[in-house]
């Protein structure tokens, strides 16, 4: 399975999965149809599935147009997003499995950014598609869920192997790390990452995918149990440390 990262809208990424043997493709969170259609044409592949992580317009905006072009494609989303994802046909719950070519993805229920948010994890290839839950150096805003829900969701993702590739749906990394350094400034790995990401973004290079290992070392929203973050927030319980950080970031 080959994963292509397609820039969309102002700072979204659409991920296109391609099985070169059968010439089929799937997309995760098609913000808009155009970049998907051009990549499909370039690959000469047929779109068979849309995997949506949640209902926001910048993740489902291309559903209808793609369904029109490929009427046989299947649109997957979370069970609790029923009625909110255009064209949704499959309603997934935690623990469900979905197939793409010869690859199987496990479905995680990761509420917090929204109450219905799911993630797709391909254990064999080590790819995680987590929408707006975990970002490189940050996490999604809590539009619908509680801090405790988001901590549980992030804790689930934090357990994945360190080399898991994390395909997050936005290029927010530089801003996230600029915030991170204000709460975890003595962390040398974070200092180095901020330098690397600053240089990459000056050259307009993408910073996605990231991986679980580097996120555990540098992402404050996965580090609620580290003394530096507890000190920065003057809190100790995980959901309180997290809530304080999220509130600070919202104002950053």
Tell me: does residue 56 bind Zn ion (CB under 5 A).
yes
Of 107 and 130, nearer to Zn ion (C-beta) is 130
Sole window of 2-10, 103-111, 127-135, 234-242 interacting with Fe ion (rule: CB under 5 A): 127-135
Q: How far is the CB of 140 from Fe ion (least distance, A)?
A: 7
Q: Which of 160, 252, 248, 153 is nearest to 210 (CA)?
A: 160
58 binding Fe ion? (CB under 5 A):
yes
Nearest distance, CB of residue 143 and Fe ion, angstroms = 10
| Choices 56-64, 101-109, 206-214, 233-241 (CB under 5 A): range interacting with Fe ion | 56-64
State how far the Cα of 55 lies from the Cα of 37, in Å rounded to an integer.
21
CA distance 33 to 232: 43
Question: How many Cβ atoms are within 10 Å of 236's Cβ, its own excluded?
Answer: 12
Per CB under 5 A, which region of 40-48, 50-58, 66-74, 172-180 contacts Fe ion? 50-58
Tell me whether the omega of the peptide bond preceding residue 130 falls within 30 degrees of 0, making it cis. Answer: no
Which position among 29, 81, 127, 132 is part of the footprint of Zn ion (CB under 5 A)?
Answer: 132
In this structure, the number of other CB atoms found within 10 A of the CB of residue 204 comes to 7
Of the CA atoms within 13 Å of residue 41, those in its CB half-sphere come to 8
> Which residue spans within 147-242 are E strands per DSSP?
165-168, 210-211
Shortest separation between residue 14's beta carbon and Fe ion, angstroms: 11
Given the complex with Fe ion, which of 58 and 81 has the nearer CB atom?
A: 58
Contact residues: Fe ion, CB under 5 A: 58, 132
């Amino acid at each position: 399975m080959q994963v292509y990262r397609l820039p969309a809208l102002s700072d979204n990424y659409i991920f296109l999965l391609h099985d070169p043997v059968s010439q089929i493709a799937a997309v995760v969170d098609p913000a808009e149809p155009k970049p998907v259609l051009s990549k499909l044409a370039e690959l000469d592949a047929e779109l068979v599935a849309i995997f949506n992580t949640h209902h926001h317009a910048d993740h489902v905006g291309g559903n209808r147009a793609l369904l029109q072009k490929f009427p046989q494609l299947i649109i997957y989303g979370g069970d609790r997003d029923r009625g909110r994802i255009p064209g949704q046909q499959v309603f997934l719950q935690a623990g469900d499995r979905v197939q793409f070519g010869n690859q199987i993805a496990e479905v995680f229920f990761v509420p917090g950014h929204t109450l219905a948010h799911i993630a797709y994890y391909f254990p064999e290839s080590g790819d995680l598609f987590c929408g707006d839950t975990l970002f490189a150096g940050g996490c999604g805003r809590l539009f619908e869920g509680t801090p405790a829900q988001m901590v549980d969701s992030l804790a689930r993702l934090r357990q994945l192997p360190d080399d898991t590739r994390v395909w997050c749906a936005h290029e927010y990394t530089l801003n996230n790390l600029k915030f991170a350094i204000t709460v975890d400034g003595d962390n040398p790995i974070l200092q180095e990452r901020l330098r690397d990401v600053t240089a990459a973004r000056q050259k307009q290079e993408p910073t996605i995918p990231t991986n679980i290992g580097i996120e555990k070392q540098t992402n404050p929203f996965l580090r609620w149990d580290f003394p530096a973050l507890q000190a920065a927030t003057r809190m100790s319980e995980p959901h309180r440390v997290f809530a304080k950080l999220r509130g600070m970031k919202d104002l950053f």
